[in-house]
Structure 1
């Protein structure tokens, strides 16, 4: 597979397609949450974190369903500048939300929530959507090597800084069950990810203390189902499986909503 790189870089799509992207860099302004004012019957806030080569709009259909069911929803613009800095950004954002939170991560966003949730006692459940679940010391790039049979020709340019997917290959790798027009639009607006996203080592294992759920995508050409199952089992996650591509939140928003709400009900 041919990987297009905006800044002279190409990486193994196995290590890349596990991201999924958006946003602008920077750190959200943190505020003191203070005591929670949410009542015992209030629904938790669902916070959605995208991965590389997408953006927050990829959650649109899921957000619509969650709101219809009465859930407060936030979708974070993940900076995609590296696991360490992205974790700090999301942690700061979480500190502005009062009350219980269900934290959801897609693809590379799974690695981000695994780290950022550890600093926030209000995160009551983690939900991984075709996501990475790294153990302490692991990298996304290292976990990507568990998917060696994906159709990829790895190329590395030593001085490169960002990676993206060749638009001609985007549908095959990322959104195989999405219609051609929508897939072309997703390819056109994809945001590149800094190579630190696959190189930074994970520092926390929030799944050790926070209940987790994992939606495994059986038609995924970015992270193989077996790799997803390995990470989910290691994390002790409640798992569900669906015949869907990596872009499951777009192709199967009802299924994604279902597992998020299942996790949310556990917090009450």
Structure 2
């Protein structure tokens, strides 16, 4: 592949994280000569977040591979309908069906410990009533989100987490891009934020090529960046071909 034909990877983080969660993955992809962008996911609601990520992808010259972690999987499922998106990669993520919400998909399976350890807060909404957003209780963050990440790192991640609007749990996917775009998925086998069976079910329903990361926490992109980057690179090579 020449540099001009290599698809650009757009990394979409999920709830309770930010773009720096991809740091190790970014470094690995850059070493491979793969162009990469890691925009900030607004985390304000599925429709608006997907529209924003779709606009980022649409302004990139050439093909794009969208990569979504956690809630970011729902976002890329919708944003992936953008014309220049050539493939989708789900990392410990929700893979939604058209007309399905995160809450509906999660509700098919036993709940993870995440739900009982969310902290609610309000935020202002221009022209409307205040909205509700959630973070993970800091004391529970290491165990639930990043059990295989060094404690010194999780202590920073716990206080730097970004909140997810309650709207994101209820809004439904307007489209499922995996129906027309090839997809790959990594299942985090020891995930306590999303039941791994939720990740597995969505990925298999989408016909994704599935890789199992046994023993990996929800923060698999932080704890195992090379494994995550290897799957992304595989997707990039496949769509480029």
For 1:64-85, what per-residue CA distance to the aligned partner results, in whole angstroms no more than 9, with x for missing partners?
0100100111001000000011
Contact 2:89 2:183 in 1 (8 A): yes
More helix by percentage:
2
Contact 2:118 2:137 in 1 (8 A): no
Question: What root-mean-square deviation, in Å, do the aligned CA atoms of Structure 1 and Structure 2 show?
Answer: 2.0
Quick check: 1:254 aligned with 2:226?
yes
Residue number among 187, 192, 202 corresponding to 1:216 in the alignment: 187
Equivalent residues in 2 for 1:29-68 (5 A)?
42-68=5-31
Q: TM-score, normalised by structure 1?
A: 0.81
Q: TM-score, normalised by structure 2?
A: 0.90
Supply the distance in 2 between the matched residues of 1:90 and 1:40 (Cα, whole angstroms).
23
- Equivalences, count: 230
Q: Which runs of 5+ in 1 are unaligned?
A: 1-37
Quick check: 1:84 aligned with 2:56?
no
Supply the distance in 1 between the matched residues of 2:77 and 2:176 (Cα, whole angstroms).
6
Which contiguous aligned blocks of 4+ residues in structure 1 show a shift greater than 6 angstroms?
38-41, 154-159
Equivalent residues in 2 for 1:129-208 (5 A)?
129-151=91-113, 152-153=115-116, 161-208=132-179
Supply the distance in 2 between the matched residues of 1:141 and 1:156 (Cα, whole angstroms).
17
Contact 2:71 2:94 in 1 (8 A): yes
Contact 2:13 2:41 in 1 (8 A): yes
The equivalent residue for 2:83 is 121
Aligned-residue offset at 1:148: 2.3
Quick check: 1:107 aligned with 2:78?
no
Supply the distance in 1 between the matched residues of 2:193 and 2:91 (Cα, whole angstroms).
13
Supply the distance in 2 between the matched residues of 1:262 and 1:83 (Cα, whole angstroms).
27
More strand by percentage:
2
Supply the distance in 2 between the matched residues of 1:73 and 1:212 (Cα, whole angstroms).
18
